[in-house]
Amino acid sequence: MKICLLTVLTVLTLLSCNQPKENSGENEKLIKQYFEHFNKHDWNKMAAMYSDTAAFKDPSLGQGIVKQTKAEIVKKYGELSQIFPDVKDEVISIYPSGDQHIIVEFVSTGTAPDSSKFELPICTVFKIENGLITQDFTYFDNFEEK
């Protein structure tokens, strides 16, 4: 019985090692490309990096998890760039986490038509499956100063 159990455990271990896993290095390159598209305001190329319907956690979309299509992503960021034509994200650090997650710390900046400026530190946790972003969970301080 002990030999059979050991054999089964060995086979399961070997099988799990042979399962294809996404490469965190490839995911990191994907996310760097994402921020290049963002900074060029190429919303269509950026949206193409998402799955057909991706899950977002973003205070600008409301509470909880909101599903967004690629067309909705293009619309959201197109509206953002109308309000802040020079919106830009400066990546501070990228932290790979396992085979499917990349955490990005960045600062978003922009200038409104009335010349008011914003600078917002942000942290986003991306989940990448089969080379596409399936989750985009973004965190920032959304409380106004009083």
CB atoms within 10 A of CB 135: 19
H helices of 19-113, in order, are: 24-39, 43-47, 70-83
Residue 78 and residue 46: Cα distance in Å, rounded?
Answer: 11
Q: What is the pLDDT along the chain (146 residues), one digit of tens a residue?
A: 434 333 333 333 333 343 444 467 899 999 999 999 999 999 999 999 999 999 999 888 888 999 999 999 999 999 999 999 999 999 999 999 999 999 999 999 999 999 999 999 999 999 999 999 999 999 988 666 54
Can you give the pLDDT at residue 143?
A: 64
CATH 3.10.450.50 fits 23-139, yes or no: yes
Q: Tokens 């956690």 belong to which residue?
A: 57
CB of 136 within 8 A of CB of 126? yes
Residue 135 and residue 138: Cα distance in Å, rounded?
Answer: 10
CB of 65 within 8 A of CB of 134? no
